[in-house]
Each structure stands twice: as structure tokens, then as C-alpha cells.
A and B are shown apart, each in its own frame.
Chain A
Amino acid sequence: MSESKARRDRVVAEYRRWATLQERLEDETATATERDEAQTLALDNPLCRREHDLLTSFRQASTAPGEAERALVERTLERLRRSHAVVALRPGTAPPALGSTSARSPRRSWVLAGGSFAAAALVAYFAWNTSEPPPSAAPTAPGSVSRGMGQLALVSGQVRVNGAVQRLPGATLHGGEHVEVVFGRACLALDRGVVACLDAQTEVVLQGAADAELSVVVERGRAVAKLDKQPAGQGFALVGERTRAHATGTSFALAKDPAKPLRVDVLEGTVRLTDPSTAIDLGAGERWEAGVGRSVVTRETAEWYRALLTGSAALNLSLARAGSEVAVLQVESEPEGARVELDGSPVGQTPLAVLVPKDPEGASHSLWLGLAEHESERRSLDFATAGVHRLFFELEPTPRAVAADASTKPATERLRERPSADEKGETPSEDPRALLSEARQLVAERRWSDAAQSYRRLKATFPKSAEARTVSVALGQLELDRLGQPAAARRSFQSYLDLGGGALSQEARYGKVRAARALGDDAAELAAIREYLRAHPNGVNAPALARRARELGAE
């Protein structure tokens, strides 16, 4: 064997050994000796250094735009200009306001109006008040099916029309078109003041003509509709299998769930049910189930349908005046699922996008977002311009709320109820890996306080385990970034280093810097930066920390 081949084989063997050690370190199962061995190999072995260099060069860095980037910018700005263009309603569709035909105020404003339905939330909507006479619900001309029978007015989650994902409302809906809500919900604003909202996992097909009955055929899932008094000879129906539920002005729902009989629930007014053999009338609060017959709509069911319809009335605005301009309010958040209220009225959950009327006077509206265990956010906006009004919120977790709420959570109860090994006066029987796994699961569930408690328990119960040492860094990061406890975080990072450090030493030292900054302790921050730079002169954060050290007065 030649000398060079022997050398090459040794380098590759060392690299493989280092890779194995690295995996053990990342898996937090390495011993102290193995950590030291890995560090030595990382410095000496050229392949280890090659890997390090490749990964370092890979990190995101800002660079000046080239030709391709400039072209991208121009395309984007052009698209942005187009998105601000006016969205106009198609003329000829002028349904009356949803749920109410009350007199309109002489001043244009947004008001929360209540319908005749039991809960105001159901009919919470924004009425487009105007000094001009309200538009009449004139029948649309024959053939209007081809030009559309309504619009997609609210999108929350993933909604498809004829298979195409719709991220924004406003799409014109035609007879024969297929609408599917994969998750979230959607509301359709159909001609003649019909609003139909679809639950998640619902598929419908639209049918109808402007001078006859409009209908939504529910292929699966649940749909709830609310409609104003319809012209004679016209109406609206929800259809499931061979059953048609007709209404001329009411609120009702049809559900076609797997393994359950077809159901029709009447929330308000009267609905006529027909199938090839029967015709019956159902009144408010009545339920009909295929093969079962009549029963009563439970309060929970009624509330559930109310929630599905809630906020759908916002879309009503867009139809209040034929040809009026509308805007799109698009609200997204991280995390998703936040409750959205506009001027105190629920609209839905993020992500959502809903049509709203353009308001040339630019009246200010208040948008509120709330999500459990996160700080709520409020923002003012107006709809003086048409186009898309897009808002994105990054909701911050509220550690205190999490901690206060923690006692109600089963996992937390389990954690608290379970005595520690010391309390039990016996040798710990739990596996540190099990505790570590539990803590990681809590982190994945964003239950920061519980996770920190679990990490601390691991450290207290198995202080000499490899897991206890390595979780110090994770605990410090939790305390610093999620729980707002920089002093505790500094102790956690230091405890890792005091125990000899390891693969996470760089993170621990950087954590000490950040903790000192959070505490406003400039001297400690400078000392921590110097410690970091001494130990990791080529560390990822070294350039930024060197700059920061100069800001703090270091030479």
C-alpha cells in the first residue's frame, strides 16, 4: 500500500468516525470523551474542514442585485401595481342586504346590523348605507347563468373552484361549477341576496338560472345558507342526493356526512323539503333526517352553523350596490388559526380573505386578531382604495398566559402530579431519554413553560446524565426567547459550559451574550463576547459580535 493511499484511507476513516460521533452528539448520546475526540477530529481532518466550509458558504448573505434580480424587481413592482388596481363588481347583480331590509341611514358608514335570527352574531354584517335608494332586487336577465350566478366572497384555508386553488375572493361563479373546501371555510355570495357558507371537507356544485331557482348541490360536507325574501316563483335550494330543501327567505343548512343520514336543519323561517315521494314543511328549529324523520335542532348545532355563517355578511356589502367598487381584505398570521374581528364583529380565522366595499371617505376600521397563548394584535385600517389590503401578523406567544393556563392542560397536570425521584425517596426509574422526548414534544406543541419545566426536571432528576448537560442550552434558549427570563437563561448557558461544554459550546456562549444584552448588562455582554471570540474566532456570529464589541467600547 502506498503512503498516499494509506494516508487517504486514514483521513476517510477519521472522517467517518467523526461523522458517527457527530450524529451521537446531535442525538445527545455522546460521552465526554467522544465529544473531545470529535472536536479534535474537526480541527485536524481536512474532510471535516471541507464539510464545515461548505456549510458555512451556504448561509444566507445579502448581495447586490444582478441583472436577473433587477428584472425580478421590475416584474414584481408591476404586479404590485396591478394588484392595487380597482376591483369592480360586475353590473346587474344587485341583491338586497342580507337578513335585513331595514331603513338605511342618510350617511355612508359601516354599521353592525342585527337580523331577526336569535343570535346577533349570526347576522353580523356590514351594511352599505347610502342616501341613495337601495337597489332593487330586479330579476336578472335570462342567460345570466353563463355570466355568473355569484361570487366567491370569503376564503379561509384552502378553497378550490373547479380544482384551482383560490387564495383571494372575487372569483365569479357560474352554474355547473364545482367548489371544494379542503380545509377552512368559504362563503359564496350568490345572486338575489343568497349567502351560502361551506364547511371544511365540503364539495358543492352550483346550479340555477337567474329567473328560476338557484341551488347548491352538496356532494359531501355541510353547507348553511341565509337568504332574503325571494321574488315570487324564484327561490333557493340546498340539494343532497334526491332531497331538495327549498326556501324563499330563511336560514337553513344541509349536511351530508359519511356514515350519517342526510340532514336538513332549519334555523329560521320555513323550508319545504321535497324528494320524489314526499313534500313536507319544516319550521324554525326543526331537523329532518333521511330515514329518521323530524326532530329538533340542538342548541349546539345552531351555534355551530352560526359560527359558519359569522362574518359572511361582510361579503354582502360587495353586492349591495351593483357596479360598486370593492376591496379585498386579506389577513394572514403566523401561527395561523387566529380569530379575526373587524370593528368588533367576528369575520373568521386566519388565513382569510374577504370582499369589503371600497369606502371613498376612508373611515377608520379596527381589525383585531386573537389566538390562545399569544398576544392579541389590533390595527387600524381603511378601505379608501380598492384592491387587496393585505395584512400579516406575527403573533408573539404570551409566556405568562401559557403558565397561567398550564394547570388546565392534561400534560401539565401529569407533569405536576408525578412526584420527582427525590420526593418518592427512591432511585429514579424514569429514562432520561423519555423525559427529554417529553420536553421536546412540549416544545413542538409550543408549550414553552411546560417544556422548560420538563427540562428542569430532567436536570434535577438525572444531573449526571449526558441529556442533563445538553438540555441546558435548549433550556437557556427557551428561557431567553420564549419565557422572557434572561437571568435564568444566562445561568442555564453557564451551567452547560461549567460542565465542560461540548458540541453546543458555541450556542451556549452566544446565548450568554444575548442574555446579557437582554438584561442590559453591557459589561457582562462585552465579557461574554470576548469569551465567544476567544473560543470561536471563526464562529458564525463572530463578525457581528466583533462589531457589537466595538459599539460597546472594546478596542
Chain B
Amino acid sequence: MPEPAANEPPSDAQLRDLELMQACSRREPAAQREVALRLAARVRRLARLLLREPAEAEDAAQLALLEILQSASGFRRAGSLEAWADRITARTTLRLARELRARRSLFQRMTELDLVADAIPGLLAKPAPTFSIEAFLTRLSTRRREAFVLKYAVGYSFEEIATLTQAPLGTVKDRIAMARRQLRKMIEREALRAEKPGGAS
């Protein structure tokens, strides 16, 4: 995703962030609290977008926030603090997701939503007349969801997503393309319902 060129002079905001993170790396409680409060909503949202289970997402958010605070010394002024935090959140959450997947039994993996939903059309509950993107995510498979979130919520390139998700580039492109197709189907259905009597306007 686009970042400022490395050789441009730092802005005041960037310098403030750098000082803040340096204070964090010195374990100054006030700085740690300030950073945590500033990033908490962002970190939590990305973790919840990436993971299906809210409880797991809360764990991931905490791990990510912890990692951000503990890695404060690694923050550089190039790029924003938020983008840096997003990257750590994505990496931490995906690592947790992989660990959780590895722990799950074969049966659990076989009954993951994506496999079942693909095999049994109409299994899932019908969406509301108009839907949010978060509602759409619940209908995506785990891996499509991860790729879609990283592409459209965080704005990563296909290559970056391939690295983060440890998947081949072609696979990542395919996952995102399939997710987009699912999204388009939902948009079409939404439009059809809106036309019907009693549908949303």
C-alpha cells in the first residue's frame, strides 16, 4: 500500500508519533496507554474482520495490541503509526488463526463454513434486505475472508497478502476474485428484493 517516500522530511505528526513510540519502548505507562487507546478500535476492528469467532478475535486483538506495545522500538517514521499497527495486527491475527486451525480437528475443519456452504446452497440464513460488508464477511470462507479483508479493508497488494497469508500469489488472486463474485451476487439479490413488494426501498 502506498507510503510516503523515505527521504521526505518528517511531518510534525510523524515526529510526535516517533517520540510517543520511543516513550513506549522505554515502557512509560502513560505513553503505552495513549498508544493503546489510540489504536484499540482499529486493532479490534481488523481482528474482528479477519476472524469469524468474536472470542478469538478479542484474543487476537489483545495479542496484537500487546505486540504493538512490545515492538514499539521497531517503529520508524516512514509510514503512519496506524499503517504500522495494521501490519502487526494482520500478522498477529493471521498467525493466531493458523494456530487455531492447526488445533482444530479434521471434523471441525471439514465442517468449516466455506466447505459446507459451497456444498449445500441455501444452507446459510438469508441476508437482510440491505446488508453491510460485515454481514457479507460472515458468508465468506475463512481464507477468502482473510484475503478480502487484507485487500479491501487494509489495502494491501496481492503480493503483500500472499506473504501475510503464506499462500501462492495465484491462490490469493483467486480467493479475492471469488469473494468479489460472492459480493456481487449479494448485491444483485439485494436489488431484486428491493424491487419486490415489501422489500427495502
A binding-site residues for B, Cβ under 8 Å: 4-5, 8, 11-12, 15-16, 19, 22-23, 26, 46-47, 50-51, 54-55, 57-66, 68-70, 72-73, 75-77, 79-80, 83-84, 165, 332, 334-335, 379, 388, 390-394, 440-441, 443-444, 480-481, 486, 510, 514, 517-518, 520, 540-541
Contacts and interface: CB of A to CB of B under 8 A. Distances in A.
B21 to A, nearest CB: 12
A47 B31 CA distance: 46
Interface in B156-201: 159, 162-163, 169, 177, 180-181, 183-184, 187-188, 190-192, 195
Contacts of B133: 54-55, 57-58
Range for the number of chain B residues in contact with chain A: 35 or more
B94 to A, nearest CB: 13
B65 interface: yes
Contacts of B183: 51, 54
B62 A76 contact: yes
A75 B44 contact: no
A77 B40 CA distance: 12
Nearest to A5: B195
B18 interface: no
A517 B46 CA distance: 30
B76 interface: yes
Contact of B40 (A72, A393, A444): A72
Contacts of A541: 2
Contacts of A510: 2
Contact of B66 (A46, A64, A80): A80
A59 B155 contact: yes
A70 B71 CA distance: 21
A402 B133 CA distance: 41
6 contacts: A50-B190, A54-B136, A69-B44, A72-B44, A392-B73, A517-B8
A481 B37 contact: no
Contact of B42 (A16, A19, A60, A520): A60
Contacts of B181: 19
B107 interface: no
Contacts of B2: 510, 514, 541
A391 B74 contact: yes
A514 B5 contact: yes
B36 interface: yes
Contacts of A443: 159
A80 B70 contact: yes
B146 interface: no
Q: 7 tightest A-B contacts by CB?
A: A518-B5, A392-B71, A69-B40, A392-B74, A390-B70, A73-B36, A76-B65
B61 interface: yes
A391 B33 contact: no
A7 to B, nearest CB: 9
A77 B62 CA distance: 9
Contact of A517 (B4, B71, B195): B4
A542 B113 CA distance: 38
Given A8-B191, A47-B191, A51-B184, A72 B71 contact: no
Given A58-B152, A443-B159, A379 B73 contact: yes
B41 A47 contact: no
A241 B67 CA distance: 42
Contact of B38 (A8, A62, A75): A62
A55 B149 CA distance: 10
A392 B87 CA distance: 12
Interface in B45-102: 45-46, 58, 61-62, 65-67, 69-71, 73-74, 76, 82, 86-88, 91, 99
A518 B191 contact: no
A51 B187 contact: yes
A77 B67 CA distance: 11
B65 A73 contact: yes
Contacts of B44: 68-69, 72
A8 B192 contact: yes
Nearest to B66: A76
Nearest to A58: B133
Contacts of B141: none
B23 to A, nearest CB: 14
A19 B184 contact: yes
Query: A57, A165, A394, A481 — which one has the most chain B CB atoms within 10 A of its CB?
Result: A394
Contacts of B155: 59-60, 540
B4 A80 contact: no
Contact of A59 (B87, B152, B192): B152
Given A59-B153, A80-B32, A517-B5, A66 B191 contact: no
A392 B181 CA distance: 38
B42 A62 contact: yes
Given A15-B187, A72-B65, 11 more contacts: A4-B195, A54-B132, A57-B133, A58-B152, A60-B153, A72-B44, A76-B65, A83-B70, A334-B91, A510-B2, A541-B2
Contacts of A83: 66, 70
A332 B91 CA distance: 12
Interface string B99-139: 10000000000000000000000000000000011001000
Contacts of B91: 334
A3 to B, nearest CB: 12
A64 B41 contact: yes
A366 B85 CA distance: 26
A388 B62 contact: no
A69 B41 CA distance: 6
A58 B49 CA distance: 10
A202 B192 CA distance: 57
Nearest to B5: A518
A408 to B, nearest CB: 23
B41 A66 contact: yes
Nearest to B27: A84
Nearest to A389: B70
B15 interface: no
A77 to B, nearest CB: 6
